[in-house]
Structure 1
């Protein structure tokens, strides 16, 4: 394809603007990483910008050996993995019948899902429901109340609607049940959409701290984000005895290392799902 000079110039301008925008979003993380790797004297003197000085890994060693960090990290991993799997399962089971024109009452049911995107029951009624069914101070209180996101349900329903009905009919002629059709035909054909939605769910569960603030008082059940918020808000959360044992690390460096350690795991997932991300979002959102 041949591009004119104006189109080429516009393309290069787009690349430059998007590159600068992407770099501006990375700068805060680069600054935190530089702090986490820098010597205490340079951090306390506020001499760190985007390059570490007196580079060492003591701050990361402290964070990765901190029992509270390890405990909350494990809680967040469990919440993210189990929550994402359950959310995907429920979303697929709901999206499949709602994608069928012959399903009775599907418009009304879909309306109820969409309604929750604009109006919620409120924090206090939701808390009373969670407390009433005995889920407070359990790990499930951070999973079940947010099990299905209406936007993700609509996205998957739209993708399922794009699959030809002839596949359904031929499978039913061969004696396949609806469950068999869903998991043997629809799921394999919808991997791009499933990968995209799983990313949405995983990021949501990993970053969720508000549910823990509402329903959890046991420190052993706290997710990583609550621990992260506590060390950012409370300067005394990092004990001075442990900091002195590090010799080369300031409390600010340890907080920066904790933030980086909390962000990196979810970032590592994205490269594996990137090839599905754009395709899944576009195909699931457009109905021809």
Structure 2
């Protein structure tokens, strides 16, 4: 009888852990580092090119033949031009207003609806929950939505960019599931002390659910800031275009930027910036708010997860 043994070089020490939990080999660690570096470069390089081009002068853009990779000088005339008045300044203001008002309204409605649907004894609990969940399967379509918005007289107003997407059923279900995980004894003790439902929501449920509310708020804010299709359907007035609609008309449709007629006249700054620099400046203005807000929301999200995970 012959007994085959595995060569000593192929044997691995048994540590009781799964193979994917073992520390990587030097070759594996080097490969992972190279792949992550290439991935980060693939993400950051286009952003860098857009930023550098938006700050480039006409001579630099002409010498590069288009997009600029290596900066030579800083020429902020494109940003001074788009914020000197005109359609872009109005579009930034409209997008900011829609984002702030829409996020506040959507969070308020979503939290109230989620808390009400998380209470089994609430009035019409099953029917309303079924009504909300039904929208996952049945969507009315564009024509009925357009007729409703037009019939309510909301066309060419900021409310046409807010109300049609005021509540996301997915976000509502997520917050409701989080409310359901709050211990019922904690809520019952508050009711015994005489607290009403709104006070319980404000004093107990919301502090424990800051994590999920912060994430949902970020989803709503990014969705409103990046909203484009609603403006195509409901906005015909050029003065009411949000920044994403203006960006689409500049970048994809090839239209020239519509800014105020006042030329930028500062020492050392080009009076009339190139069109490409203005377009890239609009792209940067569109991206910057989400880049600025996300780190603060992420820090609050981490803190909320730690706070909400402590069980008594």
Deviates more, 1:175-184 or 1:239-248: 239-248
Distance 1:115 1:238, change over 3 A: same
1:140 is matched with which residue: 159, 167, 173?
Answer: 159
Shift of 1:30: 1.1
Distance in 1, Cα, partners of 2:288 & 2:46: 14
Give ranges in structure 1 of 5+ residues lacking alignment: none
| Alignment-derived partner of residue 289 in structure 2 | 265
1-side partners of 2:150 and 2:214: how far apart? 33
CA change 1:177–1:7 in 2 (3 A) is farther
Please tell me the root mean square deviation across aligned C-alpha atoms, in Å: 3.0
Shift of 1:49: 4.4
Counterpart in the other structure of 2:168: 149
Aligned: 1:193 with 2:208: no
Q: Which runs of 4+ in 1 moved over 6 A?
A: 239-245, 278-284
Asked if the contact 2:77/2:264 (under 8 Å) is kept, the reply is no
Distance 1:242 1:161 in 2: 58
Distance, in Å, in 1 between the alignment partners of 2:38 and 2:130 is 41
Which of 32, 45, 52 aligns to 2:50? It is 32
Shift of 1:111: 3.3
The whole-number CA distance in structure 2 between the counterparts of 1:203 and 1:34 is: 24
Equivalent residue number for residue 210 of structure 1: 229
Following superposition, the deviation at residue 9 of structure 1 comes to 6.9
Choose 1 or 2 for highest CA Rg: 2
Q: Distance in 1 between matches of 2:131 and 2:305?
A: 23
Q: Which residue of 2 aligns with 1:114?
A: 133
CA separation in 2, counterparts of 1:248 and 1:94? 52
Aligned residues: 283
Q: Which deviates more, 85-94 or 100-109?
A: 100-109
In the TM superposition, residue 129 of structure 1 has moved relative to its aligned partner by 0.6
User: Once the 2 structures are TM-superposed, how far is the Cα of residue 106 of structure 1 from its aligned partner?
Assistant: 3.4
Pick the structure with more helix per residue. 1
Q: Normalising by structure 1, what TM-score?
A: 0.86
Matched with 2:198 is 179
Q: How does the TM-score come out when normalised to structure 2?
A: 0.80
Partner of 1:249: 273
Distance apart, 1:173 and its partner CA = 0.5
Q: How far has the Cα of 1:11 moved from its partner?
A: 6.5
Structure 1 residues 50, 198: CA separation in 2 closer, same or farther (over 3 Å shift)? same
Say which SS state the counterpart of residue 136 (structure 2) adopts: helix
Deviates more, 1:217-226 or 1:234-243: 234-243
Structure 2 unaligned blocks of 5 or more: 1-16
The one-character-per-residue Cα deviations of 1:221-276 (angstroms, maximum 9, x if unpaired) are: 22111111122234442369778973573211110011101211222110101124
Shift in Å, 1:150: 1.0
